[in-house]
């Protein structure tokens, strides 16, 4: 029996939204006629990204007409304290290249706090989800889920770190600090995208970090990591507002990693 959450109904809706786009996006994965465009920021977007976001927005406007919505492909609509945040396909580059590591990310943010998160990765056959106060879970439905718990690794030399790409650390001015950290952990992997953070929640990775990440890349991941017992902050250690960059750990290692990535800010942490 799962503990109740104030956001039970919203979590249920997020699952319905994910169910409704999983088949649609799967049908476009590896499709011969997949249409790929290049956005002004030179990143790719496909017909599948746009169709998934449109479908989710359509259902939200019927089920939650008063809530605001922010999506990667169609921007922001509405105002108010409750806002749904959608990344229709996180890992578009993987999607385009036929790599199964991509997911639809759906989150509800209430008064600035991410309170519901569903990460649905149909090509991996996985779904991770959480609601505030309810715990974090993995499984395709509410009925058949496994509760998630972060690791208890307490030293960097035993820790596994996952990231997405090396770009961005240079701009942040601390590529050397990041590389130094990767040398001192047990192992470093680039699982990328949503996967690194869901693996922190599962306890199979201990540290995930990213110097460039938008709100829609991370909103769904925050409750999944936090409800699994982890900590999710900016790279500077702020608990919100989210957006910009991200650090998720099993909690135990958080302060040490913050010190390593902000050597000049020791007194502030
Ligand atoms: C991207 C992925 C990638 C991260 C980029 C994101 P998209 O999202 O999350 O791992 O490094 O910053 O933009 O474009 O595939 O949704
Ligand atoms: Ca994108
Ligand atoms: Ca993304
Ligand atoms: Ca995306």
Note the ligand closest to the C-alpha atom of 49.
Answer: 4
Q: Which atom of ligand 1 is nearest to the CA of 43?
A: 14
Cβ of 212 below 6 Å from ligand 1: yes
Average pLDDT over residues 216-226: 98
| Any atom of ligand 1 within 6 Å of the Cβ of 155 | no
Tell me the average pLDDT across 19-43.
Answer: 96
Model confidence at 268, pLDDT cuts 50, 70, 90, reads low
Superfamily of domain 8-147: Fructose-1,6-Bisphosphatase, subunit A, domain 1 (3.30.540.10)
Q: Which one-letter DSSP state was computed for residue 264?
A: G
**Confidence at 143, pLDDT banded by 50, 70, 90:** confident
Q: Is the pLDDT of residue 149 over 60?
A: yes
Beta bridge partners of 108: 84, 116
Q: What is the pLDDT of residues 201-211, one digit of tens each?
A: 999 999 999 99
Query: Could you tell me the distance, in angstroms and rounded to a whole number, from the CA of residue 66 to the centre of ligand 3?
Result: 25
Q: Is the CB of 53 within 6 Å of ligand 1?
A: no
Long-range contacts of 56-60 (CB under 8 A, 24+ apart): 56/17, 56/20, 56/21, 56/84, 56/86, 56/88, 56/104, 56/106, 57/86, 59/16, 59/17, 59/20, 60/17, 60/84
| CB within 8 Å of 190: residues ≥ 6 apart | 162, 163, 164, 165
pLDDT grade for 269, boundaries at 50, 70 and 90? low
pLDDT of residue 165: 84
Contact present, 53 and 75 (Cβ < 8 Å): no
Q: Report pLDDT for 264.
A: 75
Closest ligand 1 atom, residue 49 Cα: 16
Kindly tell me if the per-residue pLDDT of 3 is higher than 70: no
pTM (2 d.p.):
0.96
Number of residues that make up the chain: 269
ipTM of the complex: 0.97
Ligand 4 centroid to residue 184 C-alpha, Å? 32
pLDDT at 49: 98
Answer whether 71 contacts ligand 1 (Cβ < 6 A): no
| Domain 156-268 -> CATH class | alpha beta
C-alpha 147 – ligand 1 centre gap (Å) = 27
The more confidently predicted of residues 192 and 198 is 198
Cβ of 87 closer than 6 Å to ligand 1, yes or no, is yes
49 CB under 6 A from ligand 1? no
Contact 228, 199 (CB under 8 A): no
pLDDT in tens, 87-116: 999 999 999 999 999 999 999 999 999 999
Q: Taking the domains of the chain in order of start, what are their residue ranges?
A: 8-147, 156-268
């Amino acid at each position: 029996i799962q503990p109740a959450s104030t956001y039970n109904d919203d979590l249920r809706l997020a699952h319905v939204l994910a169910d409704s786009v999983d088949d649609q996006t799967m049908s476009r994965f590896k499709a011969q006629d997949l249409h790929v465009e290049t956005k002004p920021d030179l990143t790719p977007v496909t017909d599948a990204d746009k169709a998934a976001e449109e479908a989710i927005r359509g259902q939200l406007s019927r089920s939650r007409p008063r809530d605001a919505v922010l999506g990667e492909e169609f921007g922001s609509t509405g105002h108010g304290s409750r806002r749904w945040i959608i990344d229709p396909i996180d890992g578009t580059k993987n999607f385009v290249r036929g790599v199964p590591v991509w997911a639809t990310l759906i989150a509800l943010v209430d008064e600035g706090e991410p309170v519901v998160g569903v990460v649905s990765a149909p090509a991996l056959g996985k779904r991770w989800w959480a609601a505030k106060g309810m715990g974090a879970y993995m499984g395709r439905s509410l009925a058949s889920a496994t509760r998630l718990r972060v690791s208890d690794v307490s030293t960097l030399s035993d820790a596994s770190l996952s990231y997405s790409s090396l770009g961005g650390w240079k701009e942040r001015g601390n590529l050397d600090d990041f590389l130094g950290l990767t040398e001192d952990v047990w192992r470093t992997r680039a699982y990328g995208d949503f996967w690194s953070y869901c693996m922190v929640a599962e306890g199979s990775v201990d540290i995930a970090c990213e110097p460039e990440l938008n709100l829609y890349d991370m909103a769904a991941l925050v409750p999944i990591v936090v409800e699994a017992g982890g900590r999710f902050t900016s790279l500077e250690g702020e608990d919100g507002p989210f957006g910009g960059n991200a650090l998720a750990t099993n909690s135990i290692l958080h302060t040490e990693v913050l010190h390593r990535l902000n050597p000049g800010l020791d007194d502030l942490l």
